[in-house]
Amino acid sequence: MIRIVIADDHTIMREGLKRILDGAPDIDIVGEAVDGFDVLNHIRQGGFDLLLLDLSMPGRSGVELIRQIKSEAPKLAVLILTMHEEEQYAVRAIRAGAQGYLTKESAGTQLVGAIRRVAAGRPYISTEVAEQLALNIMMPNESLLHKQLSDREFEVFSLLVAGKSITEIANGLHLSVKTVSTHKTRIMQKMGMNSLSEMVQYAVAHRLLSPFKS
């Protein structure tokens, strides 16, 4: 039996995932988490085999949360389930310690298989993500500007180009406005840009921003 905890801040999504998994006799949902702090409480309590983790939740989230999870529970299998389709998000998640990466759009047909594969100790990633991982090994990080950003900076960058204000980002990531502003300044310095418009144009050109995102 594969014991899993579902971590997603949207009740409707958690309920939908539970319905998808209802027909799998070898999967048992033993807990739910609604934010990053809740996830860490489950990690410290233990008693499950796989964490189904949304990449964007209140509190601690994203790659930073994955790294902390793996530092506290290195043997725990982590499968990312997210709205982000871009390979770059997946690459950072995998490098942080996640064993699999699945978009919510694909969950209906691929979730059960992904859980079984990751729980068995095998990776679950798309061909595109595998190619991106290979390119990261073959090419220096400096080849693309956004690869110079730290994981936290990339997270802030992604929210900025998605139209979030500094205050909204600070609230969502539980950071101070000053800290987010500092991250923005460092991002622009590292990428050699002078405006948010330039950052958005770069994000669109490199498929780091989906058209449907707000």
Q: What is the pLDDT of residue 63?
A: 85
Count of structural domains, the chain: 2
Q: What is the pLDDT of residue 83?
A: 78
Domain holding 114: CATH number? 3.40.50.2300
132 contacts: CB under 8 Å, gap ≥ 6: 87, 88, 90, 91
Does residue 211 lie in a domain region? no
In terms of domains, do 18 and 110 share one?
Answer: yes
Among 135, 150, 170, which residue terminates a domain?
135
Assigned token pair, 88: 């770059």
Q: Which residues of the chain have pLDDT under 50?
A: 210-214
Does residue 128 lie in a domain region? yes
In terms of domains, do 36 and 131 share one?
Answer: yes
Q: Are strands 77-82 and 50-53 parallel, antiparallel or unpaired?
A: parallel
Does residue 77 lie in a domain region? yes
In terms of domains, do 38 and 70 share one?
Answer: yes
Q: What is the pLDDT of residue 162?
A: 86
Q: What is the pLDDT of residue 134?
A: 72
In terms of domains, do 55 and 40 share one?
Answer: yes
Q: What is the pLDDT of residue 211?
A: 41
Q: What is the pLDDT of residue 138?
A: 65
Look up the domain containing 169 and give its range: 141-205
pTM above 0.75, yes or no: no
Q: What is the pLDDT of residue 131?
A: 74
Q: What is the pLDDT of residue 145?
A: 83
Does residue 214 lie in a domain region? no
Bridge partners (DSSP) listed for residue 103? 82
